[in-house]
Every structure is written in C-alpha cells, then in structure tokens.
Structure 1
Amino acid sequence: MGGGHPDPKRGIYIGTFGDFGCPTPQKISTYALSPNRQRPFAGALYNAIFNTWRRSRNQALYVIPPFVAAYALMSWAQERNEYLNSKAGRLAEGGSEE
C-alpha cells in the first residue's frame, strides 16, 4: 500500500498510520523475563537506607552551616532585644526610663 508516488506538493505518501510503506524490520531480537521470576523490590530496603544516608551526608555541608548561622543570629538578636528592653539597656542607650 505505501511507498507511493512522489507528490511535488506534499512529498512522498508513505501510507496510513500503522501501514507505512517501509520494509518490515528484520532480525530484531526481543527478550523477556517471566513476571513470576522478576524481583522488582530486590534490595529496595537496603538501598533506600544506604542511599538516603549517602545523599544526606553529601548535602550536610550545604545545609548545616546556614542553619548554624541562622541560629547564632537569632540567639544574638533575642539577647540584644532583651537587653535593650531592660532597665540597664534603656539607660545605656540613652532612652527614657518609662
């Protein structure tokens, strides 16, 4: 059916979908494994634990320093806020004692 005449307007008509005008594939080998012989979760738990550990360890230097810096900054800010709102802090910074 396919492999038709050259059409100057649309090119070469190769046939309808599923019936293209090309030669059938030859010498293609396919292999399959029976579903009851497959082990889709073979080693899944082991790999999940150790892969998670490996990925977490590799990301530690990207995650921990910003959290430590943020914790130190928040700790300093809270201490400074408590000092500035205390009697001694108001007197030291020149504010009125009310």
Structure 2
Amino acid sequence: MGGASADPKRGRYIGSFGSFGCPSPQKIASYALSPNRQRPFAGALNNAVFNTFRRSRNQALYVLPPFIAAYAIMSWAIEKNEYLNSKPGRLAEGAEEE
C-alpha cells in the first residue's frame, strides 16, 4: 500500500491515497424533489381567496356585533355632541343666552 500511514492529527489509518475510508460504498444515496417542492406556490392565489372567504365567514358573528354596536354608540355620541354645542342645546342645558 504505497504511501499508507497513520493520520498525523488523529493517529489512525484512513486508507491509501485514492481509497480513503471504506474500500467500497456502503449505501447509494439518491435525491429527488417532492411534488410540493417543484411548484411551491401552485394554486396559492386561488386557495388564498377561497380560504380567506371561508375563514372570514366563520368569524363574522364574532366580529360584526361589536362593530355595529361601536358604530351606533359613536354616531349617537357625535349627534349628542353637535346638539349640545349648538344654540338650542346650550339653552336646553340651562346655559345663559349671550
């Protein structure tokens, strides 16, 4: 075995030049792409639209009533504020006429 000697760093035999390690391959590795890796965004836009619609529809009863209540309270408060800051509103609250 020409040139075969101990590894100077680790002190063990790694094989002669050209055949380091095992003399024959132990396993053959093959690689392939799975179908979802070949087209990662296939149908993503279509699924996003319909999935978003389905999920939003399922959450509507949790979201809409608070928004409707908040809108009704806010519109009532704005109308009341505009009335109280008008001349008839001030007179109704007992402020003196200027």
TM-score (norm 1): 0.57
Match of 2:43 in 1: 43
Query: What is residue 55 of structure 1 aligned with on the other side?
Result: 55
Identity of aligned residues (%): 75
Which residue of 1 is the match for residue 66 of structure 2? 66
Q: Any unmatched runs of 5+ in structure 1?
A: 1-31
Number of residue equivalences: 67
- Structure 2: runs of 5+ lacking an equivalent: 1-29
Alignment root-mean-square deviation, CA: 2.2
CA drift at 1:93: 1.2
- Larger proportion of strand: 1
Larger Rg: 2
Relative contact order, higher structure (CA 8 A, sep 6+): 1
Q: In the aligned structure 2, how far is the partner of 1:41 from the partner of 1:85?
A: 58
- The verdict on how the C-alpha distance between 1:60 and 1:33 changes in structure 2, with shifts beyond 3 A counting, is farther
Partner-residue secondary structure (3-state), 2:40: coil
Q: Distance in 2 between matches of 1:35 and 1:71?
A: 53
Name the CA distance, whole Å, in 2 between partners of 1:75 and 1:53. 29
Q: Residue in 2 aligned with 1:9? A: none
